[in-house]
Structure 1
Amino acid sequence: MKKLVNAPRAVVREMLEGLVSLAPGQVLLDGESVVLRADTPSDVRARKVAVISGGGSGHEPAHAGYVGAGMLDAAVAGDVFTSPSTDAVLAAIRAVAGPAGALLVVKNYTGDRLNFGLAAELARAEGIPVETVVVADDVSLHDTVEPARRRGIAGTVLVHKVAGAAAEAGAALQDVLREATAAAEVLGTMGVALGPCTVPAAGKPGFTLEEDEIELGLGIHGEQGVRRVPMQTADSLVDTLLTTIVEDRRITSGDRVVLVVNGLGGTPPMELAIVARRALAALRQGGIRVERAWSGTFLSALEMPGCSLTLLKVDDARLARLDAAVDAPAWPGAGRLPKEPGVYRPSSTASPASLPAEAPQPGMDRFRKAALRVADAFEQSEPRLTALDSAAGDGDLGLSLVRGAEAIRALPEDAWTSPARALTAIGNALRRSIGGSSGPFYATALLRAARRLAEGPVDAAAWAEAFDLAVTAVSELGGARPGDRTMLDALRPAADAFAKAVRCGQGAREAWASAVHAAEAGEEATSRMQPRLGRASYLGARAVGVPDAGAAAVVVWMKALTPGIG
C-alpha cells in the first residue's frame, strides 16, 4: 500500500486539521472529529435551524467540504468507512444547535442510523429539538432490498444543499425537514466501479477485478457492486445507469431534473466530462429537462476509479434552494447549462486560395500507393511506438501517427498530381491531425521539401536535396542536433547517406536502401544516448536502454516507402 499518510490511526484527525487550515469559514471542534461553521453564533438563541451530517471518512470532499453558509453547520467524521460515535454527533449538535433545533441528514447505513439516532434522542432529552432525514438513494438495489433499506450514496449532497438553503432562509425545523424529506424521496443514484480502493488500516484492496471486469451498483465503502459485468464504453455504462435511475424514480418525458456526475476518487475530470456529455445528451433525447448539472468528485470512496450518476426531480421551489448562495469549499457553483453544447461557427471563414487543377504527373499513382503504405505502417506500428514513447515520454506518439494515417487516406484526388503538391497536402494534413511535437515537425519538413521539388525537374538529386532541407527544417524548428536522442538521430544519417549514394551514381533504390540502413543504425544508437531535449530529457539516465520513439517512427515510414522507390 502506498498512501500519503503518517499513521493509519491518525489519518482522520490530520485530514480534518488540513481541511480547516485551508478553509477560513471552518473550525475544528476541540477534542472531536467535527468541523463547524466558524460564524456559528455563540448566543444559542441567535442560531437558526442547524443542518448536520457526516459519516465515515474516506468520502472527501464529503462531508466537511459542505460546511458553510447555505449548506451544513457541522460535519461529523468517523474513522475511514466507519460511522462516527454517538458522542461525536451529540457534541456537534450541542456546538451549533439552539432553540430552533437541528436536522440530521443521515445516509442509510446501520451504524449511521444508530449513532445519529441515539444522539438525536440524547439531544432531545436536553431540550434541543432534533429531526432526522434518512437518505436511501441507491437505485441499484431495486431488485435486492425494499426501498427503505437502500444505501445512501452521492445524492445525499443534494439533500445537504436543499436543507441548508431552507435553513439559511430562516425556515422552521419542520419546514426544513419537510423539504429535505421530499427531496430524498425523489432522489436516485447509481454507480459503477472500475476497480477497488484500499482502506489505510487494511492495507490491501477490498476486492479484485480482472482487467476486463467492472462492478455495477457499488456502494461507497469499497464494497462490491450488485453484479460484475464486462468492461464497456463510457456511453454504454451511462445508458445503463441512467435507464435504471429513470425507471426506478419514474422519471418521464417533460420532467425537470438536476444531474450530478460524481467521481469516486480515482476518476480524472477528462473521463467525468465524457460521462457528463453522454448523460446530458441521453436525458435530452428522452425529453427530460435538465435544469442544472454538476460534474466532479462530490462523495468519493477513497481512490476508487469509477463514477455515479444522480438525478433529482425539481420544481421551481426546489430549484431555488439549489440555486441559493453557498459558502462551502466543496460546492461547485451554479450548475447552469447552455441550451445546447456550444460550438462557435464563424459567419465567414477565410481559407487559403485553392490551387489550380492540374493533370497528374507520371508516376503519381505509384507515389500515392507509397504514401498509403506509410499510413498502413503507422497503424501497424502503433503498439510499439506507444510503448517506446511511454517509456521515455508521454505515450501519445503511436496514436498521433494513427491520426496522421487517417488524414493521409482522407486527402482528395487532386492532392496527388505532383510530388510538391502531394507533400504540401500531406504536410498540412499532418499539421491539423497530429498534436504534440510530431505534427509541427513533419509538417515543417514536408513543406520545406515541397518547395524544393516545385522548383524544377524531380530527379534523384532533387529528392536528395529536398530530404536534406526537410531534416534541416526539423533541426531548426526544434533546436535538436544529432546526439540529442531525437528523431534527428535517424533522419540526419539517413539524409546524408541518401545524398552521398546519389552523388556516387547509385540508383534511387540502392541509395534509399543505404538511407534506411543508416536510419536503423541511428535508431539503435539512441538507446545508448542520454536525452537532452523534450520530455525524455526529464528522465536523464533513466531513459537509457530504450530507443527513441521519434527515431523509431522515422524507420517505420522509411521502410514503408522502400517498395515504391525506383
Structure 2
Amino acid sequence: MKKLINDADAVVRESLEGRVLLQPNVSLLGSSQTVVRTDRVVNDDNRATVPVALISGGGAGHEPAHAGYVAHGMLTAAVSGGVFASPSVDAVLDAIRAVTGDAGCLLIVKSYTGDRLNFGMAAELARHDGLNVEMVVVGDDVALSDDDTHAGRRGLAGTVLVHKVAGAAAESGSTLREVHDVATRVTGHLGTMGVALAPCTTPGADAPSFELGDDEIELGLGIHGEPGVERTRLTSADDIAQTLVGRILDDLDIVDGDRVVALVGTAGATPPSELDIVARGAHTALTNRGVVVERLWAGPVLTSLDMSGAHVSLLPVDDGLLDLLDTPTASPAWPGFPDARRPALSVVTTPESADRAGGPKGEADPFVRQVIDAACERLLRARTELDAADQHVGDGDLGSALARGARAWLDDPAEGDAASLLQELSARCRRAIGGTSGPLYGMLLLRAAQALADGASWGDALRAGVTGVRELGGAQPGDGTMVDALEPAADAADSGIDAVVTAAREGAARTSDAVATKGRASYLGERAKGYEDPGATAVVMWLEAVREAMSQQ
C-alpha cells in the first residue's frame, strides 16, 4: 500500500520529529518517542513550583493525538508506542520522572489492556521513587455495554475532552486531587460512537485491516483499525449522525433540556467538508431531541491513520466544566476557538442583483422556455457521463457542475420573453455552477440575451455569446475547450440548427487529436490526447437537445 514514509520501522520517531519541528515549545525526550513541554522539564530549581503534570499517550497512528495536545493548557507530556501499540512501562516511567514535580502527576489512560498495564505499572514504580502519581482510565465507548464479556469499554476520542478539562484545571493551580476529581467526573459522563466507511492500512502492511463493501459501513468501531460491533448499509450523513448521537444519548441518559458539548472527529481520511456535514447532522439530531448544544467542535482530534469515517463524542456540562473547556490552550490540535459560543446557524441576506430585480419581463415565450427546459434536462441526464469524461482531463466534476445549473432552472423555471429568459438563465448559471463553467456560461447567455434585446437574430445572438466567452476565458478555436464546439456552431448558425449541431460535433471531435493549450486539459499536455474535451462534449449535448425540442414544434 502506498504511503508517504521512508521506513515502516521509523514512522513513529520521524513523525514525532516532524511534529516537534512544527509545534512551538515542545521537545523530544532523548531518543524516546515521548514529547514533552520544554518549559516543564523538572529540575532542582523548579521542582517545587511546577503545576500538576498531565501525561497521556498510547499507540501511534492517532495523530494529532497525543503529541498535538502537549501544550500550555493541556498535556505536559505524551508517550507514544508503535503504531496501535502501547508504549512500554519504562517509556512511561521516563516521562513521569521528566515532568513530575512536587505537585504530582496525573496519567490519562485510554481503556485498552496494554495501556492500562503499562501506564499502571509505571505509576507503581514512580510511587516507589517517591513521586505522587494518580491515574484515570477513560472508557467512553458506548458501542460496548459494561455487561458484555470483553475487556471493557474502550477509550476513544472523548479522551481529548478529558485532556482539555484536566489541563485547564492543572494550569490554574489546582491540586492533584482536584485535577484527578474533575477528570474522573468527565470520564464518568462521557460517550463516543464512531462509524467507518473504509478501513485503514498500517505502515508496512500489504492490505487494509478489514474489508467493507461499497455500500457497507461499520458502526461502533475502536481506534486501532479493528472492525466495529455492527455492519450495516450506507445511508445519508444525517441518518448516520442521528444514529451515532442517538446511541450516546440513550446510553448516557441525556434528556430534553440537558446541556452538552459535542466533539466530532474524523477517523483519518474523511474530508473536512464531509466532517462539517456530520457536525451539522449531529447538531440537528441533538436539538431535535431537545438537548442544548453549548459547544460544537470538529476536526482531526484522535484518528486511525487513513480510515474513512467519523466519530461523535458528547459530554454533559455545567458552567464549571464549560469554563474549563473554554479556557485557552496553546495546543495546535485542539479544535476550539477563542470566541467560544453556543453554536447557531447564522444566515444573512443581501439585496438581489439588478438582473434579478423584477424577474423576467416581456410577453411569455413558451417555445424558448421549452427549448431551455430540454437543454437543462439533457445536462441533468449527462451528469455521470460528463463527470467520467472530465476525470480523464480534469477534476471530474464538470457534469455535476452543469447539473447544478440545470437544476437551478428546472426547480423554478421562469417566464418571459426570449431575452429576459436567457438573462435569467445566465444569473442562475453564475450562482449555481461556480468554477470555470459558471462564469463562461453566464457570459455566453448574458451576451446572447443582450443581443436579442437589441433586436439581433438568433444567429447573431449566438455569435455575440461566443465572442463573450472568448473574451472572458481567453480561449481560441484549437485550444481544446468548449470554444472548439461553440465557434463552429456560431459560424454555421445562419444555415439552420442541423448545421449548427454538426459543426459543433465536428469541432468537439477535433479536441481529442491535439494537445490542449487552455482549460483543464492543458495541465496534462500529451497525456490528455485521445480524449475529447468534456466542455465541448457538453455543448454538443445541449445543442442536440435544442434541435430535438425545435423539431417538436
TM bracket (short chain): over 0.9
Within-5 A mapping of 1:4-15: 4-15=4-15
**Comparing 19-28 and 145-154, the one that deviates more:** 145-154
1:464 aligns with 2:496: no
2:383 corresponding residue in structure 1: 382
The 1:555–1:150 alpha-carbon spacing in structure 2 relative to 1, beyond 3 Å, is: same
CA contact (8 A) 1:367 1:564 kept: no
- Superposed displacement of residue 413, structure 1: 5.2
**SS of equivalent to 1:27:** strand
1:492 corresponding residue in structure 2: 487
Whole-angstrom distance in 1 between the partners of 2:381 and 2:454: 35
Identify the match of residue 50 of structure 2 among 39, 43, 47.
47
2:452 corresponding residue in structure 1: 453
1:345 aligns with 2:349: yes
Percent identity reads 52
With normalisation by structure 1, the TM-score equals 0.93
1:421 corresponding residue in structure 2: 420
**Comparing 11-20 and 84-93, the one that deviates more:** 11-20
**SS of equivalent to 2:193:** strand
* Structure 2 residues without counterparts, runs of 5 or longer: none
- Superposed displacement of residue 355, structure 1: 6.8
CA contact (8 A) 1:192 1:215 kept: yes
Whole-angstrom distance in 1 between the partners of 2:541 and 2:359: 31
Report the residue type matching 1:64 in the other structure.
A
1:288 aligns with 2:291: yes
1:26 corresponding residue in structure 2: 26
1:229 aligns with 2:224: no
- Superposed displacement of residue 414, structure 1: 3.2
The 1:527–1:16 alpha-carbon spacing in structure 2 relative to 1, beyond 3 Å, is: same
Residues 68-88 of structure 1: per-residue CA shift (max 9 Å, x gap): 111111100000000000000
The 1:222–1:367 alpha-carbon spacing in structure 2 relative to 1, beyond 3 Å, is: same
1:172 aligns with 2:171: no
Report the residue type matching 1:319 in the other structure.
L
1:89 corresponding residue in structure 2: 92
**SS of equivalent to 2:293:** strand
- Superposed displacement of residue 345, structure 1: 3.1
CA contact (8 A) 1:162 1:318 kept: yes
The 1:269–1:355 alpha-carbon spacing in structure 2 relative to 1, beyond 3 Å, is: closer
1:482 aligns with 2:477: yes
The 1:350–1:203 alpha-carbon spacing in structure 2 relative to 1, beyond 3 Å, is: closer
- Superposed displacement of residue 337, structure 1: 3.3
Whole-angstrom distance in 2 between the partners of 1:197 and 1:451: 55
1:550 aligns with 2:545: no
- Superposed displacement of residue 329, structure 1: 2.5
Report the residue type matching 1:207 in the other structure.
F
- Superposed displacement of residue 112, structure 1: 0.4
Residues 61-115 of structure 1: per-residue CA shift (max 9 Å, x gap): 0001111111111100000000000000000000001222211111000100110
1:327 aligns with 2:330: yes
CA contact (8 A) 1:475 1:488 kept: yes
**Comparing 253-262 and 196-205, the one that deviates more:** 196-205
The 1:427–1:356 alpha-carbon spacing in structure 2 relative to 1, beyond 3 Å, is: closer
Residues 404-436 of structure 1: per-residue CA shift (max 9 Å, x gap): 222332455532xx3223222222222222211
Identify the match of residue 311 of structure 1 among 309, 314, 323.
314
1:279 aligns with 2:282: yes
1:370 aligns with 2:374: no
The 1:151–1:521 alpha-carbon spacing in structure 2 relative to 1, beyond 3 Å, is: same
The two structures, once aligned, show a CA RMSD in angstroms of 1.9
2:73 corresponding residue in structure 1: 70
Whole-angstrom distance in 1 between the partners of 2:300 and 2:472: 41
Whole-angstrom distance in 1 between the partners of 2:487 and 2:478: 10
CA contact (8 A) 2:144 2:153 kept: yes
Whole-angstrom distance in 1 between the partners of 2:198 and 2:419: 52
**SS of equivalent to 1:149:** coil
**SS of equivalent to 1:55:** strand
1:506 corresponding residue in structure 2: none
Instruction: Report which of the two structures shows the higher radius of gyration computed on alpha carbons.
Output: 1
Identify the match of residue 359 of structure 1 among 339, 360, 363.
363
1:515 aligns with 2:500: yes
1:532 corresponding residue in structure 2: 517
1:440 corresponding residue in structure 2: 439
**SS of equivalent to 1:141:** coil
CA contact (8 A) 2:113 2:151 kept: no
The 1:147–1:490 alpha-carbon spacing in structure 2 relative to 1, beyond 3 Å, is: same
- Superposed displacement of residue 169, structure 1: 1.5
1:253 corresponding residue in structure 2: 256
Whole-angstrom distance in 1 between the partners of 2:147 and 2:305: 25
Identify the match of residue 159 of structure 2 among 153, 156, 161.
156
The 1:411–1:18 alpha-carbon spacing in structure 2 relative to 1, beyond 3 Å, is: closer
CA contact (8 A) 1:527 1:545 kept: yes
With normalisation by structure 2, the TM-score equals 0.95
CA contact (8 A) 1:252 1:288 kept: yes
CA contact (8 A) 1:489 1:519 kept: yes
**SS of equivalent to 2:358:** coil
2:403 corresponding residue in structure 1: 402
Whole-angstrom distance in 2 between the partners of 1:18 and 1:31: 14
Whole-angstrom distance in 2 between the partners of 1:27 and 1:141: 37
1:199 aligns with 2:194: no
Whole-angstrom distance in 2 between the partners of 1:292 and 1:444: 44
CA contact (8 A) 2:360 2:424 kept: no
1:473 corresponding residue in structure 2: 468
Report the residue type matching 1:539 in the other structure.
L
Residues 474-502 of structure 1: per-residue CA shift (max 9 Å, x gap): 11111100010000111111221233x3x
- Superposed displacement of residue 542, structure 1: 1.3
Report the residue type matching 1:386 in the other structure.
D
- Superposed displacement of residue 279, structure 1: 1.2
Report the residue type matching 1:366 in the other structure.
F
CA contact (8 A) 2:111 2:153 kept: yes
Whole-angstrom distance in 1 between the partners of 2:240 and 2:72: 36
- The count of aligned residue pairs is 546
The 1:339–1:131 alpha-carbon spacing in structure 2 relative to 1, beyond 3 Å, is: closer
**SS of equivalent to 2:35:** strand
1:559 aligns with 2:544: yes
- Superposed displacement of residue 455, structure 1: 3.1
Whole-angstrom distance in 2 between the partners of 1:170 and 1:104: 17
Report the residue type matching 1:290 in the other structure.
V
CA contact (8 A) 2:296 2:343 kept: no
CA contact (8 A) 1:191 1:307 kept: yes
